[in-house]
Each structure stands twice: as C-alpha cells, then as structure tokens.
Amino acid sequence: MTAHLAPRRITIATRESTLAIWQAEHVRSRVSARYPGIAVDLVGVTTQGDRVIDRPLATMGGKGLFVKELEGALRDGRADIAVHSLKDVPMELPDGFVLAAIFAREDPRDAFVSNRYDRLSALPKGAVVGTSSVRREAQLRERDPSLRIESLRGNVNTRLARLDEGRYDAIILAAAGLKRLGLGTRIRALIEPDESLPAPGQGALAVECSADRTDILAALAPLADRGTTLATSAERAFSRGLGGSCVTPLAAYAEWQEGRLWLRGFLASRDGGEVLRGERDGDVVDVEDASALGLALADDFLRRGAHRLAAA
C-alpha cells in the first residue's frame, strides 16, 4: 500500500463481550504490527443479539443480530471497520458492505465441555446437553435421539457458569472461542468434523468495511490468509446456494492444501431424522473457484431433495 493511500487512523467497531474484544484486539495488533504509523482505536457496540439472551437466536432473526448494529457504526462514520466471527456473518451482506479480509483460522472444531463426562460417546441416555445451534442440535439428535437438547445463550463465561451450576450434563461450544480466551483446559474433548461438521466459517475472523473504502481494502489485503479465505468462501457459497441461515441445520467445512480444496457439507431436519451429506473436491486458485465448488456441492444437494429440508 502506497503512503498516500494509507489511512492515518482506523477505528474498529466491536461487540463488547470478552471474546469479541479479544478478536478486535487481535486485529488491532495485526494492523499495528504491519503499519506502525496508523493509530488504531476500538469502539464498543452492544447488539440486539447481546441484549436478549433468554430466547433462541432462531426466533429473533438469526446471527445477523450480532452484525447489524456494527454495520450501523460503519454507515454513520463511528467506525471504519467491524470485526466479526465469520460464522456469525450472514451469507449475503447488505449493499455497500464487503468483507475486506479473512484472517487465519483457529481450530474450527466443536468442543465437548463437561464436568461429568470425558467425551460425547460417554453421555448416558437422556443426558441434558446445552447448545444455541440448530446445526449442533441436529447432529446430536442424529447421533442419539434420547439426548435432551436445551437452549444455551450468553457469552462464553456465562455458558460455562451455567454448566458449573449443574444445569447441563455437557455443553457444546466452538473450540476457537475457548482457546482464544485461554479456556482450552475446559475442553474435555474436541469433536472431529466426521462427528460434528462445523458451521461455515467457524474459527475464522472477518473484517467488514464499506465497499467504497479503497484505502481500508488496500491496507487489509496483505493481512488476509489465503487458505482460510478460499476454504471459507467455499463453505459460505455452499450455504448460500441452499439458502442457509441460523434456522437451518446446515454445516460445511473445507480444507485447502497445495492448490486443492476438499469441501464437506451437511443438511438435516432439526430432529436429525433426515440427513443429507456430501463432498466435493477440486483445484482452486482463487475465491471464484472456491465459490464455484461450494455452489456445485449445493447443486448436488438440491438434486437430492435439499429444497424440502431447507424450506422446513
């Protein structure tokens, strides 16, 4: 980036949870390390998804509730960029906004957290499992229909506290969040993708900005991780092709290595009674290739009846 294009100050809009602040600070440290002359500030924003934690996200409009107010801060000039967990970002951004960079992915897996049992397979019949994700719920119910799946909202520490109060036999969280907060010791077992396929974009951080901020786009481009960008572009294209949202029990996970991408997808009924799985791989050199791979897998699912499951 040439000097005359460099912004002199960048303000980051972030949610005010401990994890969101960690993520924003991580982006700030990366920007400051590459551009020591740029001042980087944070502005906290409380979103509707943070304010209302006594109802499932699916009944409130989805994970986009974590994003809208941050986009408002970009729109009215309070911030230049917003930092998101990519899995919370809707598949279609509002007009005038783009993802400027996707950073290197943390562990994309789900984590099994329990004070009583050391792994998912050790849960007894009728065990109470807490999760806020219909994707996790469907995969848990497919595995063991006897499990009692109960809603679990709030920030990471709130969820752990509710487990410690004895309300649940186990809870399922994203491993990335626990590790970023130094809470990796709470993980009793990591759930491999073969057992519970992650949400599209899980473990990755995304930076959003206004599409006309060419200075921001130029500054952040070198900080993007190519492998993560390609993998998550395929995952999000798969979800987009099926009309996925947070009320859809949909999962996708891609791995990129040496120019080749392997994408796995999952779609189910919420009770786990009906399940579609599939995979596709191919040579991928750019985001367009990755998105095409994701859409091709979505087309495979549609040919196999995915319309009915997605509509339900």
Residues 235 and 291 in one domain: yes
**Residue 3, pLDDT above cutoff 50:** no
Q: What is the mean pLDDT of residues 261-265?
A: 98
Of the candidates 88, 107, 110, 169, the residue annotated as catalytic is: 88
Which pLDDT band holds residue 246 (cuts at 50, 70, 90)?
low
Residue 88 designated active-site: yes
The domain that holds 114 is classified in CATH as: 3.40.190.10
Q: Is 239 within a domain? A: yes
Q: Is 185 within a domain? A: yes
pTM, rounded to two decimals: 0.91
Residues 95 and 9 in one domain: yes
Residues 4 and 95 in one domain: yes
pLDDT at residue number 50? 55
Residues 171 and 214 in one domain: no
pLDDT at residue number 52? 53
Nearest to 147 by CA among 312, 276, 272: 272
CA distance 144 to 154: 25
Residues 85 and 164 in one domain: no
* Residue 271 DSSP SS3: coil
Type and span of the H or E element at 12: strand 9-14
Task: Tell me the H-state helices in the chain.
Answer: 18-34, 48-51, 68-75, 134-143, 156-164, 175-180, 214-220, 226-241, 287-303, 306-311
Residues 235 and 268 in one domain: yes
**Could you tell me the residue range of the domain that residue 65 belongs to?**
1-104+203-224
**Domain total for the chain?**
3
Residues 183 and 237 in one domain: no
Q: Among 87-96, 226-235, 238-247, 277-286, which stretch is predicted with the lowest mean pLDDT?
A: 238-247
Residues 170 and 56 in one domain: no
Residues 10 and 38 in one domain: yes
pLDDT at residue number 277? 97
Q: Among 7-11, 44-48, 269-273, which stretch is predicted with the lowest mean pLDDT?
A: 44-48
Residues 213 and 229 in one domain: no
pLDDT at residue number 130? 98
